[in-house]
Amino acid sequence: MTREERQVRKLAREVRRRVAAAVEAQLREARGLAARGARAKPFALSESTRAGNLRWRRAHPEGSRAHKQVYAAVRAGRIPRPDRCEGCGLEKRLHGHHEDYAKPLQVRWLCGSCHRLAHSALCDGTAQRRETLAVRTASRGEGV
């Protein structure tokens, strides 16, 4: 074996060792994140939001299923996801809201506050809240 060959082999060993170490470090980090229940996303949801989401999913398995179907359909490009809230017309991060979980792909795209409003209207059914939502929905498109 020439001197160069020996050097090349040594270098290759070193590279393999470093790659293995880097992969191992990444795996360790991913496992650590998973163990803490954290998401490897930069905009991870807060603890309380995640806990709330989890409680909601456990209490509403049919809703959870419907949401999964919606987001899968959006990713697959089968249903469009608008940029603006159907309630207030603002460009915000939107939630797919179901009026009926039996129709999982029929959603209204609402921002957080309109979504909360929609649910409180559905839950307590007070006429005033329903009206508020109807007004918001009607004012959509007027740049409000």
Which residues in this chain contact Zn ion in the complex, by CB under 5 A?
A: 85, 87-88, 97, 111, 114
- Smallest distance, Zn ion to C-beta of residue 101, A: 9
Sorted by sequence, the CB contacts under 8 Å of residue 15 that are 6+ apart come out as none
- Smallest distance, Zn ion to C-beta of residue 32, A: 34
- Smallest distance, Zn ion to C-beta of residue 36, A: 29
- Smallest distance, Zn ion to C-beta of residue 88, A: 3
Greatest Cα-to-Cα distance within the chain, rounded to the nearest angstrom? 89
Residues recorded for the chain: 144
Q: Which is nearer to Zn ion, 37 or 82 (by Cβ)?
A: 82
Exposed / middle / buried, residue 23 (Cβ in 10 Å: 0-12, 13-18, 19+): exposed
Q: Which is nearer to Zn ion, 85 or 121 (by Cβ)?
A: 85
Closest CA to 116 of 76, 87, 73: 87
Q: Which is nearer to Zn ion, 87 or 104 (by Cβ)?
A: 87
Q: Which is nearer to Zn ion, 24 or 62 (by Cβ)?
A: 62
Contact 70, 62 (CB under 8 A): no
